[in-house]
Chain A
Amino acid sequence: MIPGSLLVPGSLMAPGPAWEGFSFARPAGLWALLAPVLLWLVARERSEPPALATGAFALWRELGNRPAVRTKEARRCVPPAVRFAIAALSFGALAAAGPRFSGAPLPRTWVLLVDQSPSTSLALDDGRTRLEQALAGALDWLASRGAPGDRVSWRTPARSELELPWGERPPPDWLAHPRWFAPEPDFALADRSGTAWVTDRMPFAPANAACFASGGARVAGPVASSGLTRIDWDGGRLIEVEDALSSRPVTELPAGAAPRELEELFALWALERGFSLDRATAGAALVFEAAPEGPDGEAQAGRDGWTARGRALAGGLPPEALADPAGERWLEVEGAGGTRETLVFASPGRVRVAWRSFERVAGDPAAFALSWSRLFDRVVLPPPGIVPLAERQDAGQKQFLVPELEDRPSGGRDDSGRIEGGLALAAALCALAAAGSAGPRRA
Chain B
Amino acid sequence: MRERTRAELLPSPRVSFAPDFLARASRLAALLSAARERREGAGRAAFLGAGVEFVGFRPYRPGEDVRAVDWALLARLGKPYVRISRKEASEHWAVLLDASASMGVGVPGKLQRGAEVAAALASIAARARFELEVQLSNVREAFRVRRAGDLRGLLAFLEGARAEGSAGFAALLAEGRRFRRPGALFCIGDFLDLEPGALLSAVRRGQSAFLLQILAQEELSPPRGAVRWVDAESGQSLAIELEHEVRGAYEARLARRIEAWSKAAVERRAFHGCWSAATPFEKIVRATFADGWG
Binding site for B on A (CB under 8 A): 48-64, 66, 68-69, 72-77, 441, 443
Contact = CB atoms under 8 A, between A and B. Distances in A.
Chain B, interface SS category: mixed
Interface of B: 6, 9-11, 101-105, 110, 190, 192-193, 215-216, 218-219, 223-234, 236-241, 243, 245-246, 249-250, 253-254, 257
Contacts of B231: 53-54, 57
Contacts of B105: 53-55
Contacts of B104: 53
Given A63-B249, A68-B245, A49 B226 contact: yes
7 contacts: A54-B105, A55-B232, A57-B232, A60-B240, A72-B241, A77-B241, A443-B224
A69 B240 CA distance: 7
A69 B224 contact: no
Contacts of A57: 229-232, 234, 236, 238
B10 to A, nearest CB: 5
A51 B237 contact: yes
Contact of B232 (A49, A54, A60, A76): A54
B228 A50 contact: yes
Contacts of A72: 226, 240-241, 243, 246
Given A53-B10, A53-B11, A72-B240, A77 B254 contact: no
A56 B225 CA distance: 18
A60 B238 contact: yes
B71 to A, nearest CB: 54
A63 B219 contact: no
Contact of B228 (A48, A55, A58, A66): A48
Which among B229, B233, B236, B246 has the highest number of chain A CB atoms within 10 Å? B229
Nearest to B168: A55
Contacts of B218: 52, 54
Contacts of A74: 239
A59 B254 contact: yes
A51 B233 CA distance: 14
Contacts of A66: 249
Contacts of A53: 6, 9-11, 101-102, 104-105, 229-232
B250 A55 contact: no
Nearest to B236: A57
Contact of A55 (B192, B227, B239): B192
Most chain B CB atoms below 10 A, which of A56, A57, A76, A443: A56
A239 to B, nearest CB: 107
A75 B238 CA distance: 12
Contacts of B219: 54-56
Contacts of B11: 53
B253 A62 contact: yes
Contacts of B6: 53
B10 A52 contact: no
A48 B226 CA distance: 9
B48 to A, nearest CB: 43
Contacts of A59: 250, 253-254, 257
A210 B91 CA distance: 120
B230 A51 contact: yes
A59 to B, nearest CB: 5
